[in-house]
């Protein structure tokens, strides 16, 4: 049934004039939506096509606007900025809040754009050695603990000759509420109180437990550079 003189929509299809700029023409459709017409569109077929055109135009406008917004947010001075993951944001907070002992330092070998890989140097208060640890932080941090290795070859019950570290907070005792500071203090604690009950280097652990004087002499030899058995250690003082 025809409804003469009634308003069928908020657009005047025949009043649209396409300007050279496609985006301006699409915006014109939105602006025209604020006006009402006093005559119906010619027929139902044209009405359906028109609404399909308007819907497609609005979707295209939305996509263009979103792309423009994304480009603006992700660039500073024309240089694209990589979005940080949740793990990177949490790690950035941990690093900002670090409370390191005076004998510890943090460095970023790949530059500060790569927060997920850094190094910590530890120089215990007792002794002359300086030890370097690498941290590889997983993308799902803090749900998984960082992977930590000792880059300095050392004769120690809880650090093997390949640099693997036996520390409870890096294994079964890790929880997302812990942070980088916790790990660094745990590493520092290994030098003040090595644990021969949970060893990676069983030779060093047995020596510490049964022959502490021999263990101390071997540690000094390793720090100054020399052989322990067939294994050579470079000086790290």
The Cα 235–Cα 224 span in angstroms is: 5
Q: Does 104 qualify as catalytic in the annotation?
A: no
- Residues with Cβ within 8 Å of 146's Cβ and at least 6 positions away in sequence, in order, are 135, 136, 137, 138, 170, 180, 183
* Annotated active-site residue in 9, 104, 150, 166: 166
Strands (E), 37-94: 75-76, 79-80
141-162: b (≥16 Cβ within 10 Å) or e: bbeebbebebebbbbbbbbbbe
Token pair of 169 as six digits: 């907070």
Helix (H) or strand (E) holding 122: strand 117-122
In degrees, to the nearest 5, what angle opens at C-alpha 77 toward C-alphas 75 and 78?
A: 60
As a whole number of Å, the CA-based R_g of the chain is 34
* CB neighbourhood size of 122 (10 A): 21
Helix, strand, coil percentages (3-state) for the chain, rounded to 5, are: 40, 15, 45
DSSP states along 143-176:
SSPPEEEE-S---BTTB-TT-BB--GGGTTT--T
Token pair of 231 as six digits: 């294994």
Residues annotated as catalytic are 166
């Amino acid at each position: 049934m025809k409804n003469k003189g009634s308003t069928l929509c908020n657009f005047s299809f025949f009043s649209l004039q396409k300007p050279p700029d496609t985006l301006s023409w699409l915006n014109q459709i939105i602006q025209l939506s604020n006006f009402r017409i006093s005559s119906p569109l010619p027929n139902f077929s044209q009405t359906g096509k028109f609404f399909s055109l308007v819907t497609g135009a609005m979707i295209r406008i939305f996509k263009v606007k979103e792309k423009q917004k994304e480009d603006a947010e992700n660039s500073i001075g024309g240089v694209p900025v990589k979005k940080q993951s949740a793990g990177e944001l949490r790690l950035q907070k941990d690093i900002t809040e670090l409370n390191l002992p005076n004998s510890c330092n943090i460095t970023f070998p790949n530059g500060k754009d790569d927060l997920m890989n850094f190094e910590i140097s530890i120089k215990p208060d007792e002794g002359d050695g300086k030890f370097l640890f690498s941290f590889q932080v997983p993308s799902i941090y803090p749900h998984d603990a960082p992977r930590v290795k000792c880059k300095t070859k050392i004769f120690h019950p809880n650090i093997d000759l390949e640099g693997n570290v036996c520390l409870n907070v890096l294994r079964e005792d890790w929880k997302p509420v812990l942070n980088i500071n916790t790990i660094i203090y745990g590493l520092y604690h290994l030098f003040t109180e090595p644990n021969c009950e949970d060893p990676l280097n069983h030779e060093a652990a047995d020596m510490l437990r049964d022959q502490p004087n021999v263990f101390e002499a071997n540690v000094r030899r390793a720090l100054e550079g020399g052989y322990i058995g067939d294994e050579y250690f470079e000086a790290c003082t």
